[in-house]
Amino acid sequence: MADVGLAETGDLAFPRKVAMLMWLMVRDFGLYQIVGVSSF
């Protein structure tokens, strides 16, 4: 997956990268919870 943050310059690049990382963390955490629940 290409890093969208690298394609931008200025004030938008860093906040977007942080927002993307937070989204990935939240999504992965949700997936781990679903896998944990379905494994029992």
> Which DSSP letter does residue 2 get?
-
The parent domain of residue 20 ranges over 4-38
Domain count, the chain: 1
Per-residue pLDDT at 11: 67
**Whole-prediction pTM:** 0.44
Summarize pLDDT for 1-40 with one digit per residue, the tens: 455 555 555 666 788 888 899 888 888 888 878 777 766 5
Decide if 5 contacts 20 (C-beta within 8 A).
Answer: yes
